[in-house]
Amino acid sequence: DAGVTQSPTHLIKTRGQQVTLRCSPISGHKSVSWYQQVLGQGPQFIFQYYEKEERGRGNFPDRFSARQFPNYSSELNVNALLLGDSALYLCASSAGMNTEAFFGQGTRLTVV
């Protein structure tokens, strides 16, 4: 069985641009969460989606948005990129609410 897959693995964008990151959860998992990990820090919670609905949001501006599709895959969108958005973006897959989270390898976003 494939684990959590994220694409692309690396990405370079210019300030002010928009970016879309993708995540496919483990087969059968219905919850997808997104985390931002800035260099030297632990991951920070951005969103949780369960059954295609946003269930919670961390302390991130409205420039960050996401959605979950009928097949439970998810996209994270970030508009008007800032240099400070440079980070590793991690997707976590869970079978449901309050169950273990399994992480993908992440997408390394560099904003120049």
Binding flag, residue 40, another protein (CB under 8 A) = yes
DSSP helix, strand, coil percent of the chain (3-state; round to 5):
5, 50, 45
Separation of alpha carbons 46 and 91, rounded Å: 10
Binding flag, residue 78, another protein (CB under 8 A) = no
Report the chain's C-alpha Rg in angstroms: 13
What is the nearest approach in angstroms of another protein to the Cβ of residue 62?
A: 17
How many other β-carbons are positioned within 10 Å of the β-carbon of residue 85? 22
Binding flag, residue 25, another protein (CB under 8 A) = no
Binding flag, residue 60, another protein (CB under 8 A) = no
Separation of alpha carbons 75 and 58, rounded Å: 16
Binding flag, residue 98, another protein (CB under 8 A) = yes
Binding flag, residue 15, another protein (CB under 8 A) = no
Q: Which residues bind another protein (CB under 8 A)?
A: 4, 33, 35, 40-45, 48, 55-58, 90, 92, 97-98, 100-106
